[in-house]
Amino acid sequence: MRSRQPKTGLGRQIAEALASNKTPLEIADVLEEAAKRLRFREKFALLDGYPQEAISRRQASQSRRAFSLAMSDFFRERCDKWMDNETGVLLEIAFGGEDSSQEVRDYRKDRNKKSRSLKRRKRR
């Protein structure tokens, strides 16, 4: 016999809809909304956590760097190219400041240098 764990979030909403006296169309609406949320979560799951080499000693800098690297990786995966200018605009909107595209480029290149350096050390 399987133990029943309490449902939270979407699972609870779906269970409540199925157990309710709602019409099939109302239940379909709940299921469609749940499916939409799950697709959204899956689509942006790669943004979970800090990207590689995002940690910084200064909290403000760490947030900017993490956001920048996450968005750079997101655009690279979706568009097959680095979109530093676009990422820079998003960085400006999210954290303020002026033209951040060079900052984005520097974060990305610095991470690539560190990554190559670590690979060389591991081969030795």
Q: Which two tokens stand for residue 89?
A: 């605009």
Cα separation, 24 vs 29, in Å, equals 9
Assessment of whether the complete model's pTM goes beyond 0.75: no
pLDDT tens string 40-83: 776 666 555 555 555 555 556 777 888 888 888 888 888 899 99
pLDDT tens string 9-47: 778 888 898 999 999 999 999 899 888 887 777 666 655
Domain boundaries, the chain: 9-43, 48-123
